[in-house]
């Protein structure tokens, strides 16, 4: 069984950060992110059962990010106006049944930008560059490797075209030896000076 989100977030954050973590947790609660993650981890209907599928924490976070992105892409003035009207007329009452919104699938461009490659930002990394994934707070150890290729692709999470790299992994398992990464997710490994 998946543990409650509030417990999961408290465990991930060290108590030594004190007020900053409390503020971060409060922001997650205030903007409904904690509730969204909890709902996703326990969601069940005729088409989907989160418990049966055994969603990982990373999968839940990714689904939440995609749902937020989907909402952002599908915003319409009429929907915003309806919600604003509800907020203004309900004053201090609790809003429990907000109107449902239909979402369209996020579309991915099927052709390169017209100004490619003339006005494209040059890649930061080249074949042979040693890189590592940028560490995140709760996972300081990251994979590293060597760039063996790159391609220009549409990044849904950024809503723009950008570079994606093909990386030969160091210390990989026998199953996965190559991975891909977006440019903003990796950083160079500095060469250590020989003494």
**pLDDT tens-digit series, residues 57-71:** 888 888 888 888 888
- What is the gyration radius of the CA atoms in the chain, in angstroms? 21
- Kindly compute the dihedral angle of the four CA atoms of residues 77, 81, 84, 89, in this order, to the nearest 10 degrees: 180
The residue with greater pLDDT, 103 or 44, is 44
pLDDT tens by residue, 156-167: 877 788 999 999
- Other CB atoms within 10 A of residue 170 CB: 13
Instruction: Kindly report the pTM of this predicted structure.
Output: 0.48
The residue with greater pLDDT, 120 or 83, is 120
- Kindly compute the dihedral angle of the four CA atoms of residues 180, 182, 186, 187, in this order, to the nearest 10 degrees: 120
Yes or no: say if 51 and 1 are a contact pair by the CB < 8 Å rule.
yes
């Amino acid at each position: 069984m998946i543990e409650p989100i509030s417990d999961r977030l408290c465990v991930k954050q060290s108590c030594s950060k004190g007020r900053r973590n409390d503020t971060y947790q409060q922001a997650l609660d205030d903007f409904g992110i904690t509730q969204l993650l909890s709902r996703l981890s326990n969601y069940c209907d005729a088409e989907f059962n989160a418990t049966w599928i055994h969603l990982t924490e990373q999968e839940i976070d990714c689904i939440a990010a995609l749902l937020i992105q989907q909402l952002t892409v599908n915003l319409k003035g009429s929907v915003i106006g309806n919600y604003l009207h509800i907020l203004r007329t309900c004053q201090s009452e609790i809003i429990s049944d907000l109107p449902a919104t239909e979402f369209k699938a996020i579309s991915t461009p099927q052709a390169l930008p017209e100004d490619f490659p003339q006005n494209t930002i040059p890649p930061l990394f080249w074949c042979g560059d040693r890189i590592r994934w940028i560490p995140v707070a709760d996972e300081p150890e990251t994979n590293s490797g060597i760039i063996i290729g790159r391609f220009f692709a549409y990044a849904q999470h950024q809503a723009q075209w950008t570079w994606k790299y093909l990386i030969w992994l160091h210390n990989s398992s026998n199953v996965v030896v190559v991975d891909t990464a977006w440019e903003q997710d990796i950083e160079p490994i500095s060469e250590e000076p020989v003494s």
